[in-house]
Structure 1
């Protein structure tokens, strides 16, 4: 499996709602993460902040985590909501205290960071009972939208990795191009 990052020079492609919401709507994301107004949430692999913007009005504090400063530059130009703090970091080395987060989301980025180290780090920064939502490109997909098939994971593979890292997987849905996992930190 390849671990790559999205080419920041093509960031504007990530701002196309007609394509993005086809695979994950705001409503589905908000349902899955089930935020309270005072929750602290991290968007892991936030990119241009497309889904971060959907989370911000429904949470207390939001960390937009991306390994590429160029993505944060794009987000700054677009306009970052007041509740959002930009964090330039890889997922396997988050600069957050233990148990800081009530929730974390990964929207179409799991394939970019999937590793035991990254999952252990997410588990570390989530409070007990904290929710992790993963929506990513499915290995069974066509490979037309999203990354090449060889860089994708099957939902059951990702769910098994989450369980091995201390998560209880509560919901698993597989669609034609994507999968959705909802898990809580044990």
Structure 2
């Protein structure tokens, strides 16, 4: 069993982890207008799903900005950033940060994404840092669960997987 930490403190994640080749689980999250969104909204598109604990922290800020910079170079790819931040906070953060190529989604109401993808940190009800790439047929083609939530993911690996999934 892999150990996951947040600021070097052990955290408990759901047992189930998504693997390459799995069918992407459905989820229910909120967009910045409080509309419910599920995986099916992005049918036919490749999804690069960037998971962060909170947009208002350094590494999460960097991660979201990095994927935003590369998003417009990816064909038929929707870049989704999912966190437990409230939709209002996500919208404000995007506006203040000039983020317009990444779609921010909130898992705060249901924790549906966190449970389905095995990223919900039980002790603090935040999502651990992870990246998933899901192809246009909803097959998972890339997964990365970052063991220490304050570390950066492998940006290049995720971007290459998204480009290859086309």
TM superposition score normalised by structure 2: 0.38
Higher relative contact order (CA 8 A, sep 6+): 2
- Structure with higher helix content: 1
